[in-house]
A = this chain, B = another copy of it.
Amino acid sequence: MTLITETMEPDTRERILVVAERLFRELGYQKTTVGDIAKALHMSPANVYRFFDSKKAIHEGVARILMGEVEVAAQAIMAKPGPATPRLRELLSTIHRMNSERFVGDSKLHEMVEIAMEESWEVCVAHMQTVVESIAGVVAQGVASGEFEAQDVPLTALCICQGMMGYFHPQMIAQAVNKPKPHAPIEQMIDFLLVGLATRKHS
């Protein structure tokens, strides 16, 4: 019996997060109660609290899943074979596209992002670090293959990430969509950053 409960628990945890994500999208984070989540799962609120000690913990779990999908995609691009230049381009475009889909189009999800940044900053920071590490991975491969020149790979990755802030940061993506302003198209921004990485011919 203990054995069954133990193997069931990760599944229940995941089911709670799937349902919570759906309700947060449908009703908004503020309006969704732990009671609503429990009801949708045909379980008692007390059972939900066995897995997550607060609504904030559920929110963090959902935020981790949404950010985790971006991290998995980034790591898959880093792990692909082939030249680093097109993969760095693909990596930066993919993060932009996935962040736009996840955190901007949907105003209810945007509320979740605002709350994650307000209440669970450490989850956001861990995500940023993983993204920077994926970029650093591709930059290191490009340095190894002679495509890129970078003295300090982690710092270079940080600068690339910083340079992409207008395309990566949920608040900045939302601002670019909602409020017209001077804005370079992403392809041209990536071109500009790649010029800085290109191997210089030393005389």
Closest to A186 in B: B162
- Determine if B182 and A121 form an interchain contact, defined as CB atoms under 8 angstroms apart: no
User: Chain B residues near A156 (CB, 8 Å)?
Assistant: 192
Q: Which of B124, B163, B188, B203 contacts A181 (CB 8 A)?
A: B124
Produce 1/0 per residue, A116-155, CB < 8 A to B.
0100010011001100100000000000000000000001
- Determine if B162 and A183 form an interchain contact, defined as CB atoms under 8 angstroms apart: yes
Q: Which of B128, B129, B155, B182 contacts A129 (CB 8 A)?
A: B182
Q: Which of B165, B172, B181, B192 contacts A125 (CB 8 A)?
A: B181
Produce 1/0 per residue, A16-48, CB < 8 A to B.
000000000000000000000000000000000
A29 to B202, alpha carbons, bound, how many Å? Answer: 56
Interface members, chain A 164-203 (any B CB < 8 Å)? 165-166, 169, 171-172, 179-184, 188-189, 192-193, 195-196, 198, 200-203
Q: Which of B121, B165, B179, B196 contacts A193 (CB 8 A)?
A: B196
Closest to A196 in B: B196
A121 to B182, alpha carbons, bound, how many Å? Answer: 12
- Determine if B172 and A184 form an interchain contact, defined as CB atoms under 8 angstroms apart: no
Tell me if A88 counts as interface (CB < 8 A to partner B). no
- A–B complex contacts, Cβ < 8 Å, 11 sampled: A121-B179, A125-B179, A125-B182, A155-B188, A158-B184, A159-B184, A161-B182, A165-B166, A192-B196, A201-B201, A201-B203
In the A-B complex, the 6 residue pairs with the smallest Cβ-Cβ separation, listed nearest first, are A196-B196, A163-B163, A159-B192, A158-B184, A195-B196, A165-B165
